[in-house]
Structure 1
């Protein structure tokens, strides 16, 4: 019965005007207690729980909530250390603004349009958009502000915030060459979906995921400055999860001249590598140095503590929220700086 009951029906049953009935639900302090109780009793008897809040929000032109949309499965937000740190920053900014937060899945292509069109939000933060042209197009159709957490797209009409991945990778590789390392290997993030294995340097330009491409090219550029040719640096593409990371480590350390320096494209990869090396009795940094990329909190307490390229993950999330809630109609693009967090997982190469 509730779906058929209108506010005017409650007002008639309680013997008050529709304006008075509306005040009971929206501004109860304006209504005398006995009148408020009569209206509430009528509403309860008729199964009416109050006006649909969506109508009020839409009339106001703002719902005071942020949507976070990604092409990754939703458990990614809770399993990946980078995503966890990012969501902390987003949630802190939403709290500061008194705004809500909604996660929107783009995994199911058939439901993507519905998920985007039905989300009650003031704007979207978009993750993982290298293959997300449809996600971007559908978000534009909502005519709401949106921010991509990635600067790899050339579209200057799109607001974006992120880091210079190539510059961060160069910083990592230079740190290790300055320590004296000459034998390198790269454990990469995915260059495309659903494959892992050795990646040839010539294939990098056609990579789907620009973050992985830019980090790999940054590593190789810095190594070239030190006289280390790209053909001498094996690149093993992982899917940023334990199975493919361990498979890559088996390949890279199975030969007669294993690397003394391991460039991991994410802290998640680097932390898995530290655990694998420890199980094999390979000393870090005595036999091999490991450097990550991201600066997640777990790297500070790993064994040994992880040297990494730290990006301001939480700050990226906070600024993305500000871009949406303070949107003035003009696209914004912002590049934040990365830093070298030097800890215990890197040192000089072994004196073989």
Structure 2
């Protein structure tokens, strides 16, 4: 996504001292950075901050927003982070000042990872309401801020770690947003937000049927339509091989409570000539070769699409005999460049990989020892020589 640097300045008008409001209401994927957003509204008695926030990776040190100056500020952060289904998940929200936690939400109010979430904070007098995805997550009493700075996804006054992700539709308003208006914005944008999570990872070269007819996102069914039924149907099933590289369109539509959004995906169907089959084999070879490999590992001589591979080593302590890696030295590991010459038909491509070669794996098994002979318990673990 294109990085868009957002610079917002609010100025006082000379005639009536009215404070202009921030209104960046169009969807833009603004990459999170150290960008400071200034607004005199932040030090006023009443104001609202509203924005959509998407985190690529969630860690315990992450910050959602920071408001105020270095001597007087609040941060909104996760209460804690759980690791669920190989993904970090926010578990509750906490508003803190530089010394202590002030307001903690119930853990059910947690950000969704890898998709946009609507965050709204209403400040009025010494009261504060925090909304997450259309619902009131927590309320409390806080002191009025003296500073007028806003940072999204980073706390520049403490750890200075930038959250990985994006934000959009930032608004700072002197008018307090009502519960109904907040819920309405969330529901109206939810179909677009959820469709944004779909990614056809192999769209540049679709090889296998995609099978998308029963696709759901967070329990909502997605309707698919193919614009090229003769080549690929609404399920993502490839109907026939193409005679030339062809772009096809699959359109997904999601409707939730009367709000509907569509998104079109471009998928490439490729001619399966020697060049294309070689490209596919080279990609699979990149996946097969790891940065760490063990001595006595057998390397492939033929890849899945029929490409032939010849191997060689640039290192005196590493040999490749009959496609088998052999470490000759007694060193625990050897850093080496191994070379693959990959051929399909009349086309040959040479590739090199920097690999650390470790000792050969010996497959005996050990259990964890709890201190009493004959009573070893715990998970099994492979032991490696060296």
TM-score w.r.t. length of structure 2? 0.22
Instruction: Point out the structure with the larger strand share.
Output: 2
Instruction: Point out the structure with the larger helix share.
Output: 1
- Higher RCO structure (Cα 8 Å, ≥6 apart): 1
Computing the radius of gyration over CA atoms, which structure comes out larger, 1 or 2? 2
